[in-house]
Structure 1
Amino acid sequence: MDKTEESGALRRAPSQKRSQERVERMLRAATALIEESGSDAMRMGEVAERAGVSIGSLYQYFPDKGAIVRTLAERYNAEGRACIADGLAGVRDVDGLLQAFGGLVDTYYGIFLAEPVMRDIWSGTQADKALRDIDLRDSRTNGALLAEAWHRVMPGVDTGEVERKAFLIMSLGEAAMRLAISVERAEGDALVADYKAMALREIAAIG
């Protein structure tokens, strides 16, 4: 499935290659505009102009600016889930789980620092219910990935407790990232390091 078809934010899913390429141009144009001025300043007319499409064509796929932002958010989340799944796939013992999770925290933070569009989207999550819903679904999915790896290395632990704590750890991780990118870099680095230490202690303690 083409990545543009995965998002429920699209008004209609592009079925032909030409349409898929057009939607990709729209998303690339929106990404560039967000990088330059932020999503608040982005206008639909600017997206259409930069993508080389008519405003009517843009509205065929995206009913408003929020739909574009949500599509980008879901795309980043999908990439994040793949990263988490890959990072936890080879875990076979507790030490491996702790090392893999700690590495994922560092990787995620590095992505946030390097991706201005992701920072912009996540900074606005709390003000947009649709983005909050996307964020919640993503936390649950990521929590399930962590819980699966957790059970794999600690098969005797309580299933409900592991799933609940894994969901909480992932939710708090996303909140920690949002907080870290909202403050000065040195403080943000320290906050992420503190979150990672607390999460690793919690994972180790349940065994």
Structure 2
Amino acid sequence: MQEKPPRPGTDKSVARRQPAQQRSRERLDRILEVAQQLIAEKGSEHVKMSEIAELAEISIGSLYQYFPDKRAIVRTLAELYAAESRRCVREAFEAVQSKAQLLDAFAALVDQYYEIVIDKPVMRDISSALRSDKELMNIEIAESRACGALLAAAIRRVMPRVDSKRVNALAFLIWQLGEETMRLAVAHKRGEGALLVDAYKRMSLRAIEEA
């Protein structure tokens, strides 16, 4: 018997099936690629599951086998972006051996992230979607904690006498404020947005240096 598509919201925020074979993985990749394209063009609020299925050239029933609703797609994309972001942060801080290197690495990460958010409308939309959904917002907070922990570890490595608890809290706050700053910056014209990002960067660098 063919499984009926679930009603929207019946299996929240989790992919219904984890593909095991190459063909299924390719189909999942195609779904996510199409979803990103549509979200970039229209915004996640205006994208319909039927549109994703049509552009991905699959049936709506097949789409529901992977994702119970659009929210699950947004969550999956957010988790993929978060994993890639964490990888970049880890690589940037792994080579840090001095305070000067730490400050340079952090400043470069801020500039790089701002350029990526500017160039990829889908990331801006997903960031806003996370902020408007309490459950999905946990993804962003968890990512701020993870990246904040990497920053805190780098601070302790170059400044071993710092208070660990204080540094952990500071690093988490810096990272979460970074997410808020990016949302605010992209909501304004490029020149003003760049000034906001620069102000955040200077405040954060000062806080790190005085940790």
For this structure pair, what is the TM-score category when the shorter chain's length is used for normalisation?
over 0.9
Report the residue type matching 1:59 in the other structure.
Y
Structure 1 position 185, deviation (Å) = 1.5
Structure 1 position 59, deviation (Å) = 0.3
1:92-136 CA distance string (max 9 Å, x none) = 000000000000000000110011100111122221112211011
Match status 1:90 vs 2:95 = yes
Report the residue type matching 1:116 in the other structure.
P
Report the residue type matching 2:163 in the other structure.
D
Q: Partner residue of 2:112?
A: 107
Q: Give the TM-score of the pair, scaled to structure 2.
A: 0.92
Distance 1:47 1:77 in 2: 22
* Residues 8-87 of structure 1: pairs in structure 2 closer than 5 A: 9-87=14-92
Q: Partner residue of 1:122?
A: 127
Q: Which has the larger radius of gyration?
A: 2
Distance 1:125 1:74 in 2: 11
Match status 1:165 vs 2:170 = yes
Distance 1:74 1:62 in 2: 14
The residue matched to 1:175 in structure 2 has which SS?
A: helix
* Residues 126-165 of structure 1: pairs in structure 2 closer than 5 A: 126-165=131-170
What is the RMSD computed on CA atoms of the aligned residues? Answer: 1.0
Q: Partner residue of 1:196?
A: 201
Report the residue type matching 1:118 in the other structure.
M
Distance 1:139 1:131 in 2: 13
Distance 1:186 1:104 in 2: 19
1:30-89 CA distance string (max 9 Å, x none) = 111112111111100010111111101100110101111111111111111111111111
Unaligned runs of 5+ in 1: 1-7
Q: Give the number of equivalent residue pairs.
A: 199
1:140-197 CA distance string (max 9 Å, x none) = 0010110111111011111111111011110111111111111221111100000000
Distance 2:14 2:207 in 1: 36
Report the residue type matching 1:145 in the other structure.
L
Q: Partner residue of 1:5?
A: none
Report the residue type matching 2:42 in the other structure.
S
Report the residue type matching 1:156 in the other structure.
R
The residue matched to 2:44 in structure 1 has which SS?
A: coil
Distance 1:63 1:177 in 2: 30
Report the residue type matching 2:119 in the other structure.
A
Q: Partner residue of 2:6?
A: none
